[in-house]
Amino acid sequence: MRIVGAASAFPKYHYDQKALAEAFLAYWGDRLPEPRKLELLHSNVGVKGRHLSLPIEQYPALRFGEANDVWIRTAVELGEVAIPAAAEQAGIDPKEIGAFFFVSVTGIASPSIDARLINKLRLSTAMRRVPIFGLGCVAGAAGISLAADYVRAYPDRFALLFSVELCSLTLQHDDLSVANLISTGLFGDGAAAVIVAGDQAAEKCTKAGPEIVATQPTFYPDTERVMGWDISETGFQIVLSPEVPDVIASNVGRDLDGLLAANGLTRSDIGCWMLHTGGPKILRATAQALGVPDAALWASWECLSEMGNLSSSSVLMVLEKTINKRPAPGTWCILAAMGPAFCSELVLLRW
């Protein structure tokens, strides 16, 4: 099983962090008890700029139903860019894809986005479709694991993972909580497509990426309020506990050692790390838990700076950036993400 293609796509509207902070300050005005706090939060998340699905001036009037319509339209547009690009990188015709795993946590649709893209891109009508909602940030890594399970069963086939997260469309206009203020400074919009090939299918690909050696999901009981959404008549209201770094620090290192031991490896064998760009505190907590220096997470830090946190799409963009650098053959790699419940997904790769 191999990853044979990875490509990202972004909405056309892009704003630097200063312009976004100024827009929020102007919108909330004197409703903010401490305006300086918002500026500090935005400046401390390590983000230089982000993509938005709409021009910034259209957000104040946007409500849940309208936002979801924009989510559907934009998700399809980004899929029309990212999926052919990933297929081209893999050197295959998109019609060869046998399964379509779609993940998102920032909008809802029925028919789901995968169905709409099968129509738009004229993909195989015999394709296995698996739309998934609710896994949040972990879904990028979990989606790779699910795609790997599919091609393990069907080694002559290709599986597509498409993630789209348009976090700006979940904006809560009247939520002045610290969690929402952080989210307005951290989260952006974007999408990513990854193609996974079975062992036989991978032989057709001239630029095959890393081999998927093993995967490991871990669910942490009784952590439902650590991260997620509260859904109301106004849409998606973020749940983001300050406990997130502590939960990561307490669990991820142990989980990693278990995965590595099962494959006859230790941490010193890992030469490449691809971690979800949850934010500076999340990245530092994860690095500490795994015992790796910040420099080893260069791709994650670069993606955080360039585009912010894109939930499930983030780790796939880190993957794309790493593929473009192509680590040396034989290099062992860990791809990891965490998400609501709280949970983690680890993927062991070899180049």
Q: Which residue numbers are catalytic? A: 137
H-run or E-run covering 100: strand 97-104
Helix (H) or strand (E) holding 286: helix 280-290
The number of beta carbons lying within 10 Å of the beta carbon of residue 294 is: 13
Distance CA 334, CA 99 (A): 24
How far apart CA 105 and CA 108 sit, in angstroms, is 8
Strands 97-104 and 158-166: parallel
Nearest to 139 by CA among 116, 160, 164: 164
Peptide bond into 342 cis (omega under 30): yes
| Number of C-beta neighbours around residue 42 at 10 A | 21
Q: H helices then E strands: how many in the chain?
A: 11, 13
User: Which residues, 6+ apart, have CB-to-CB distance to 66 below 8 Å?
Assistant: none
